[in-house]
Structure 1
Amino acid sequence: MALQITQSDPRDADARALLAQSHALMEALYQPEENHFLSVDALAGPDVRFFTARDEGGAALGCGALALRDGYGEVKSMYVAEDARGRGVAAAILSRIEDEASSLGLPLLRLETGDLLDAAHRLYGRHGFEVRGPFADYSDSPASIFMEKALPAR
């Protein structure tokens, strides 16, 4: 399957639909205080690079974002539509986020993910992320897993 990962506007209809699915899943799995997803407006901010994965026909299959933080990048809003899972979409999005972070000279990537999201844990582990403690304004919570990956210097 040929994928195209492009920087896009999270306010576009396709992106909004993916984000709505993602937010609904997180709200079904976790209590409100355990959800740390960014709003669509926050994802459209100047400090975020938002990406959409599309197939050769232009259908939106998944999304992810790089939030620019002081001294690192944070992976946010990783989501793949249910019918597109298992086809390498998430890995392609994550690689695009890593490339963007490297091109901006960021030394590392960090993320917070839910404890119940086993497929996400496996994906991040395959891409070299390691478990770490909470960072930034996150508090330690049994519902959260925090991970980090050092990026090669350019």
Structure 2
Amino acid sequence: MVLDEVAFTDARVQRLVAEVQAHYVAIYGGPDESPVDPLQFSAPRGLFVLGVVGDEPVAMGGWRWRRELDDRFEGHRVAEVKRMYVATSARGRGFARRVLARLESTAGAAGVQRLVLETGTMQPDAIALYESSGYERVVPFGHYATSPYVRCFGKRVGRAELS
């Protein structure tokens, strides 16, 4: 798999977004309705990665700065991981772990100190990935903070002290 940094509006990304939204409808009864501005995934305040095998897009994920969460998470510079997804046909090959590692390294290099993310109880594979990658449960935040299905995680990825 080749990882490319692309715009969130890239047609291949949008094809995978449609797939993940259909998946959410199947497991939760509706799509993810959290607000997403495509410009939030543009440098220097964010990044979006697309994993491609041959000509086929198979994995994706991005991060976006969430300054409003800094105080909530020990004063760290916080970014949120969003739209992590691996196509059903490509699962079990380590692609999600590679996308996540790229997001962590690029966010840390951009000055992010903590990554946070939302997932849900109906996604045990995602929860297992995050926990095995060093993410720990954090107080719920975001669009689904009050949902009984939400699980939020965080991980330090950059220097802990503020400059």
Shared fold by TM > 0.5?
Answer: yes
- The 2-side partners of 1:112 and 1:96 are apart by 18
What is the percent sequence identity of the aligned residues? 30
Q: Which residue of 1 aligns with 2:26?
A: 28
- Normalising by the residue count of structure 1, what TM-score does the alignment of the two structures yield? 0.86
Match of 1:73, SS state, is: strand
Structure 1 position 145 matched with structure 2 position 151 = yes
- The two structures, once aligned, show a CA RMSD in angstroms of 2.0
Structure 1 position 102 matched with structure 2 position 108 = yes
Q: Which residue of 2 aligns with 1:64?
A: 61
Q: Which residue of 2 aligns with 1:43?
A: 38
- The 1-side partners of 2:117 and 2:140 are apart by 9
The one-letter code matched in structure 2 to 1:120 is A
Q: Which residue of 2 aligns with 1:83?
A: 89
Q: Spell out structure 1 runs of 4+ moving beyond 4 A.
A: 36-39
Of 121, 124, 135 in structure 2, the residue corresponding to residue 129 of structure 1 is 135
Map Cα deviations across residues 99-134 of structure 1 (whole Å, 9 max, x no partner): 111001111000000111000001001110001111
Residue ranges of structure 1 left out of the alignment (5+ in a row): none
- Normalising by the residue count of structure 2, what TM-score does the alignment of the two structures yield? 0.82
Match of 2:140, SS state, is: coil
Match of 1:18, SS state, is: helix
Q: Which residue of 1 aligns with 2:17?
A: 19
Residue ranges of structure 2 left out of the alignment (5+ in a row): 68-76
By how many angstroms is 1:10 displaced? 2.4
